[in-house]
Amino acid sequence: MQARFKQAALFSVKLLLSIAVLVYIARGLDLQQLRTHLVSINPLLFILALALIFVQTFALNGRWELIMRALGVSLDWLAGWRILMISLWFNQVLPSSVGGDAVRMWLLRQRGVQWPEAVKGVAADRFTALIGLIVLMVAGLPVLMSRVSNQAAILAIGGLTLAGVAGTVVLLTLDRLPKRLIALPAIASFVRFGTLVRFLLLRSEHRGLLFGSALFIHLVTAAACYALARGVGAQLSVVDAAILIPPVVLLTAVPISISGWGVREGAMVACLGLAGVPSEEALSVSLLLGAVSVIVGLAGGVIWLASPERGSYSADKAAQAAEEPPDYGLAKAREVSSHP
């Protein structure tokens, strides 16, 4: 009962934050103009953005399949894509405190995958995506500095990029710390996870494809935003989309709102504003991107309705899966990191 109350309270806080940010952004905008942008979107460009995000799910699944294979788990491509689509349904549509990642873990367990491998596979997939974002932000920072005169914005995005780089480096090198430190329970799990991710990106057989897919997936999101921006008449260049959308995606990934709603809109207005895009057009792009994500999530919902696992689904067990740390011994982590 206490756990459910905690989940309900957390969901309520996230929902209130999403609503508060959206209301705050809308206060200073011309809502009639915003409505005009939304209803006058070029339908062909909207369909293009929808197609890009849908095709992106194939690349997402391919990356996840490579990670699971590196963990010794054989995941059929179609089965993995079905699980991924179902997770998008839970992420985008349902008013639940149980996110799509927890559902992915639970569905993997229904296929006989052990909890540790399920948790590690989903967590490593998320962190690989984060690294791809940080690499794109590092690459785009010099271009941003040459195109934007707002020093405060450059410092903010540069600071966010630097924090991401520092956090990644620290996580991937934790096992270099003295043994007495990495043996502490509070650090040991991070050490094991960092060792796993380092192996995936530096030593695994498909590291090039894995890293390339991490970059490609975010560039697809930038391309979809570019299509939506052009669809509402915003003067956004391809270069500006490539360097300004990754920070938006990174901030949206922070789990403080419902499916990123509110946070995404605030970040989109701020970032696209650096390229001279009016706030109404930038907000339209963000809302339309959210709509595209919901439509893709609905496709996952149809798959979920036909799923044989639906009858045995348990939100409590799915939530437990998300909270349970992977039991991955340090000796095993060292074995993986030294894998040829």
The per-residue pLDDT for 325 is 47
Spans of the chain below 50 pLDDT: 97, 325-340
The per-residue pLDDT for 2 is 61
The per-residue pLDDT for 328 is 42
Q: What is the pTM of this model?
A: 0.86
SS3 label, residue 251: helix
Q: Answer whether 253's CB lies under 8 Å from 265's CB.
A: no
SS3 label, residue 112: coil
The per-residue pLDDT for 340 is 29
Q: Report the sign of the C-alpha dihedral through residues 128, 66, 304, 49, in that order.
A: positive
The per-residue pLDDT for 192 is 82
Between CA 83 and CA 86 the distance in angstroms is 5
The per-residue pLDDT for 102 is 85
As to burial, measured by CB atoms within 10 angstroms (0-12 exposed, 13-18 middle, 19+ buried), residue 186 is exposed
Q: Answer whether 254's CB lies under 8 Å from 247's CB.
A: no
The per-residue pLDDT for 94 is 57
